[in-house]
Chain A
Amino acid sequence: MVVNRENHSHNLGVITAGSLAEGLEMRLDPAYAVEQVRAGKFVVVEGSEFDFFSMITDVCLDASSGAILRDPPRRSSLLDDVLAGDHTYATISLKPMLMLQRGVAGERFDREEHLRPVKSIPVHFSTVREAGKDDVNRVFGEESVTQTRFFNLGAPLDMDNVEVCLDLDRFIERSNGIFGKTGTGKTFLTRLVLAGLIRSHKAVNLIFDMHSEYGWETRAESGPGKDAFVKGLKNLFPGKVLICTLDPDSARQRNVSFDLEVQIPLNEIEVEDIAPLQEELNLHPTAIETAYILRNLFKKNWLKKLLDTDPAEMKEQAEQWGANKESLAALYRKLRAVRDLPFVVDKTETKAEGEITLTASIRRIIEELRGGRHVDLEFGRVSGMLAYLLVANLISRRIHHEWVKDAEKYMATQKLEDRPRPLLITIEEAHKFLNPAAARQTIFGVIARELRKYFVSLLVVDQRPSGIDDEILSQLGTRITALLNDEKDIQAVFTGVSGASALRNVLATLDTKQQALILGHATPMPVVVKTRTYGLDFYRAMGWESKEEKSLRLGRITAGLPE
């Protein structure tokens, strides 16, 4: 923090008022310029018995008398300077988040035991200071100490070399959300979190990669590395990530490899895979009923049968099948879009590599996930919402089914080796799956609600959280939120969070890029971070090395030198 006046002190100010319900008020020390005080900053209030770890939630200008405001001094006049800090001053609102007995430090300190929810407020005139590295480490843990548990996601505001860590153990205990309007860094954040999870071996990931930006290199849109390529998860963890694609041509054009091509034969699409598309396809509920009629008649071939119907004969067919003519025609018209998707094939194809059936692809994916590898499904150029909804739901439904079986087996045997690996499914544009209507039909609604009973949880990435069903939002354990402007979206992010009003301000004042508010299960208190930069330093931290470095290292090993 820059100090604009003399008498620099580390104390930001003193507590002058406050309540448990409304938070604390601090009088800003005149040595600090109000413009340097940022909402979201992490500060420590030193009470007489406890330290209160708090966040700045609001900054407010105040004057000791109304007369000053009625006849304000000229800017930068002597009077202005004389009044500043004493008669015209800033009041800072703080929200205490955690309290810690003073003097508990070093070996004696235990995060779980000593960090307590705030049950009281500090005494009058307690001093407030900026948090230091020690404070942050005590609250959020340290990556270097327990690498597999804590993952450094960024630095607190104004504290560049300090790490705020996510507690990954807790992170995977629930479904989680990453929010923010377009261009604020959701994709980068998601990539960071996924990399942390991959490195920690805490969970396996299945990523529905709508824009093909998680697996291989993608281009950064701005910042110092603008237009440079940033590495994908496959680059960083080549042996641990499996790339699947729906659009092999796109992969070939980008000159990247893939491990598995996924195709969806018509006869493997079930009515339950179509039902969640109602909104996207604008399907009437009666159309779904019609689909069930067809399914009962033709079993696996219901969709092919429908789409092979000659439109001219729709009336006769409807009568013959006992379906409503309008509904049938509508179903036909709308589901043609499904057949038009490039990865949807009429029947199981046999290729040089052997037969590609969906069942086989899914079996492979499941095997890989069970084996601890992570699966990134690229959509290539097939970027439409219809394809994404269809595929994500269809595949997740089948995989979830397997996980349920595994989990039930584990419950029966209770043997540790039968314990399924926690699976985290990443979906983007989550409001399309989890809006109040869709949440009842998609598998994702089920997963979010069953609370990881079957070891499956979600990582939802979305720029419009207000579109997501409230009940689902309130189930999200950890929410990592970049800037949001829309009032409804801001409100949505705080669904089910008590005392959120103070944090709303903080969220609305984030920078447009690379800043996020982390809130919930995986951090002991809400915190604003400058997101860790996804770049060379990060790759290195993940164990990546350049070709030259690698050959150098291998050369040393063969020469019998220390690495």
Chain B
Amino acid sequence: MPRGESDHFSIFADGIIIQHVGAVREPPDGVYFHGNSKKMTDAIGEVVNTSTTEIVGQCRRNGRPPAFGSFIQVGVEICRIGVVYNVETTSIDPNRRPSALGLSEEQLQRSYPQLSSLLRSQFQALLIGWLSDNRFVYGLPQTPPSLHAQVQPCRDEVIRCISRDLGFLRLIYASGKSATEDLLLGVCRSIIEAHERKRTEAVRVGKAVSELYRDDYDTLKRFITRLESWL
């Protein structure tokens, strides 16, 4: 047991998941996130394209793609963190473009049961930092995540750790991705949902965003009002 005495489960920065046997008890301070020892079933996808700025992940068959604006983690030795900024579903065979069938979902299921195996979902995630020594460091990693690495959704504990310092919001803001505002909004929502005290967290996140839109009150106002509608 490398760290922590009786954590129920822990994943450390290196991504190793340990299941502790014994009493379930609140974990100590620091980075501690309960993982599931059956790592493979936890993964939502696999890295199929990688760079130091972003990755493309392919969803597991029949798996649900991650939500826009949600946090993902990838890598065992170094655990990189990203946010999902695009999800798309295309045909497996690049030469066969899907065309409209004009059927209801039910009919579709009945007539083309094999359809889902002909399609694939991919998601793109912007890398925003990595976990190191129980802490989240924001910025771009020196090396990209490896191809075929498993991609997992971040658990609430991890998100809380990541969002202790909200400086990474600026990376997203400055990423030049389309619909940045909505991406930020999605990320903020993910952060707030990982917290108990939603209102307090919303104010904190809102203040960080207000720094980004310092000179654009109209956008800020719209942004915060949208955020508020979710609370």
**Chain A residues in contact with chain B, CB under 8 A?**
6, 64-65, 67-68, 71, 73, 77-79, 81-83, 86-87
Contact indicator per residue, chain B 94-112, by CB within 8 Å of chain A (1) or not (0): 0000000000000000000
Q: Determine the chain A residues whose CB is within 8 A of the CB of B206 once the complex forms.
A: 78-79, 81-82
Please determine whether B203 and A82 come into contact, CB atoms closer than 8 angstroms: yes
Closest to B217 in A: A67
Contact indicator per residue, chain B 193-231, by CB within 8 Å of chain A (1) or not (0): 000000110110011011100110110110011011001
Q: In the complex, how many angstroms separate the beta carbon of A147 from the nearest chain B beta carbon? A: 52
Please determine whether A79 and B218 come into contact, CB atoms closer than 8 angstroms: no
Q: In the complex, how many angstroms separate the beta carbon of B169 from the nearest chain A beta carbon? A: 14
**Chain B residues in contact with chain A, CB under 8 A?**
199-200, 202-203, 206-207, 209-211, 214-215, 217-218, 220-221, 224-225, 227-228, 231
Please determine whether A81 and B210 come into contact, CB atoms closer than 8 angstroms: no
Q: List 18 A-B contacts (CB under 8 A).
A: A6-B200, A64-B214, A65-B217, A67-B218, A71-B221, A78-B202, A78-B206, A78-B224, A78-B225, A78-B231, A79-B221, A79-B225, A79-B228, A81-B203, A81-B206, A82-B209, A86-B211, A87-B214
Please determine whether B227 and A86 come into contact, CB atoms closer than 8 angstroms: no
Q: In the complex, how many angstroms separate the beta carbon of B207 from the nearest chain A beta carbon? A: 5
Task: Provide the bound-state CA to CA distance between A73 and B211, in Å.
Answer: 17
Please determine whether B224 and A82 come into contact, CB atoms closer than 8 angstroms: yes
Besides A71-B221, A73-B221, 8 other A-B contacts (C-beta < 8 A) = A6-B200, A77-B228, A78-B203, A78-B224, A78-B231, A82-B210, A86-B210, A87-B210
Q: Which of B199, B214, B224, B231 contacts A79 (CB 8 A)?
A: B224
Task: Provide the bound-state CA to CA distance between A6 and B207, in Å.
Answer: 14
Name the 9 nearest CB pairs between A and B, nearest first: A82-B206, A67-B217, A78-B228, A79-B224, A81-B203, A82-B207, A78-B224, A82-B224, A82-B210
Task: Provide the bound-state CA to CA distance between A6 and B214, in Å.
Answer: 23
Task: Provide the bound-state CA to CA distance between A6 and B197, in Å.
Answer: 13
Q: In the complex, how many angstroms separate the beta carbon of A163 from the nearest chain B beta carbon? A: 40
Closest to B200 in A: A6
Task: Provide the bound-state CA to CA distance between A101 and B216, in Å.
Answer: 44
Task: Provide the bound-state CA to CA distance between A508 and B171, in Å.
Answer: 51
Q: In the complex, how many angstroms separate the beta carbon of B9 from the nearest chain A beta carbon? A: 30
Q: In the complex, how many angstroms separate the beta carbon of A64 from the nearest chain B beta carbon? A: 7
Q: Determine the chain B residues whose CB is within 8 A of the CB of A67 once the complex forms.
A: 217-218
Q: Determine the chain A residues whose CB is within 8 A of the CB of B215 once the complex forms.
A: 65
Task: Provide the bound-state CA to CA distance between A83 and B207, in Å.
Answer: 7
Q: Determine the chain A residues whose CB is within 8 A of the CB of B228 once the complex forms.
A: 77-79
Task: Provide the bound-state CA to CA distance between A68 and B227, in Å.
Answer: 18
Task: Provide the bound-state CA to CA distance between A170 and B218, in Å.
Answer: 60
Closest to A72 in B: B221
Closest to B225 in A: A79
Task: Provide the bound-state CA to CA distance between A484 and B207, in Å.
Answer: 42
Closest to A82 in B: B206
Closest to B208 in A: A82
Q: Which of B207, B218, B224, B231 contacts A86 (CB 8 A)?
A: B207
Most interface-central of B200, B209, B217 (chain A CB within 10 A):
B217
Q: Determine the chain A residues whose CB is within 8 A of the CB of B218 once the complex forms.
A: 67, 71
Q: Determine the chain A residues whose CB is within 8 A of the CB of B199 once the complex forms.
A: 78
Q: In the complex, how many angstroms separate the beta carbon of A82 from the nearest chain B beta carbon? A: 3
Q: Determine the chain A residues whose CB is within 8 A of the CB of B217 once the complex forms.
A: 65, 67-68, 71
Closest to B218 in A: A67
Q: In the complex, how many angstroms separate the beta carbon of A29 from the nearest chain B beta carbon? A: 14
Task: Provide the bound-state CA to CA distance between A81 and B224, in Å.
Answer: 10
Q: In the complex, how many angstroms separate the beta carbon of A500 from the nearest chain B beta carbon? A: 39
Q: Determine the chain A residues whose CB is within 8 A of the CB of B203 once the complex forms.
A: 78, 81-82
Task: Provide the bound-state CA to CA distance between A322 and B43, in Å.
Answer: 124
Closest to A66 in B: B217
Q: Determine the chain B residues whose CB is within 8 A of the CB of A73 once the complex forms.
A: 221
Closest to A69 in B: B217
Q: Determine the chain A residues whose CB is within 8 A of the CB of B224 once the complex forms.
A: 78-79, 82
Task: Provide the bound-state CA to CA distance between A342 and B199, in Å.
Answer: 76
Q: Determine the chain B residues whose CB is within 8 A of the CB of A6 once the complex forms.
A: 200
Closest to B228 in A: A78
Q: Determine the chain A residues whose CB is within 8 A of the CB of B214 once the complex forms.
A: 64, 87
Q: In the complex, how many angstroms separate the beta carbon of A316 from the nearest chain B beta carbon? A: 92
Task: Provide the bound-state CA to CA distance between A547 and B56, in Å.
Answer: 92
Task: Provide the bound-state CA to CA distance between A82 and B214, in Å.
Answer: 12
Q: Determine the chain B residues whose CB is within 8 A of the CB of A86 once the complex forms.
A: 207, 210-211
Task: Provide the bound-state CA to CA distance between A6 and B199, in Å.
Answer: 13
Task: Provide the bound-state CA to CA distance between A435 and B187, in Å.
Answer: 73
Q: In the complex, how many angstroms separate the beta carbon of B173 from the nearest chain A beta carbon? A: 16
Q: Determine the chain A residues whose CB is within 8 A of the CB of B225 once the complex forms.
A: 77-79
Q: In the complex, how many angstroms separate the beta carbon of A84 from the nearest chain B beta carbon? A: 9
Q: In the complex, how many angstroms separate the beta carbon of A63 from the nearest chain B beta carbon? A: 10
Task: Provide the bound-state CA to CA distance between A496 and B221, in Å.
Answer: 51
Please determine whether A78 and B210 come into contact, CB atoms closer than 8 angstroms: no
Q: Determine the chain A residues whose CB is within 8 A of the CB of B227 once the complex forms.
A: 78
Q: Determine the chain A residues whose CB is within 8 A of the CB of B221 once the complex forms.
A: 71, 73, 79
Q: Determine the chain B residues whose CB is within 8 A of the CB of A83 once the complex forms.
A: 210
Q: In the complex, how many angstroms separate the beta carbon of A408 from the nearest chain B beta carbon? A: 74
Closest to B222 in A: A79
Q: Determine the chain B residues whose CB is within 8 A of the CB of A78 once the complex forms.
A: 199, 202-203, 206, 224-225, 227-228, 231
Task: Provide the bound-state CA to CA distance between A67 and B219, in Å.
Answer: 11
Q: Determine the chain B residues whose CB is within 8 A of the CB of A81 once the complex forms.
A: 203, 206
Q: In the complex, how many angstroms separate the beta carbon of A490 from the nearest chain B beta carbon? A: 39
Q: Determine the chain A residues whose CB is within 8 A of the CB of B210 once the complex forms.
A: 82-83, 86-87
Task: Provide the bound-state CA to CA distance between A77 and B209, in Å.
Answer: 16
Most interface-central of A78, A83, A86 (chain B CB within 10 A):
A78
Closest to A73 in B: B221
Task: Provide the bound-state CA to CA distance between A86 and B224, in Å.
Answer: 15
Q: In the complex, how many angstroms separate the beta carbon of A312 from the nearest chain B beta carbon? A: 89
Q: In the complex, how many angstroms separate the beta carbon of B92 from the nearest chain A beta carbon? A: 44
Q: In the complex, how many angstroms separate the beta carbon of A205 from the nearest chain B beta carbon? A: 59
Q: In the complex, how many angstroms separate the beta carbon of A175 from the nearest chain B beta carbon? A: 55
Most interface-central of B200, B215, B221, B231 (chain A CB within 10 A):
B221
Most interface-central of B211, B227, B228 (chain A CB within 10 A):
B228
Task: Provide the bound-state CA to CA distance between A42 and B210, in Å.
Answer: 33
Q: In the complex, how many angstroms separate the beta carbon of A259 from the nearest chain B beta carbon? A: 70
Task: Provide the bound-state CA to CA distance between A77 and B199, in Å.
Answer: 11
Q: Determine the chain B residues whose CB is within 8 A of the CB of A77 once the complex forms.
A: 225, 228
Q: In the complex, how many angstroms separate the beta carbon of B16 from the nearest chain A beta carbon? A: 35
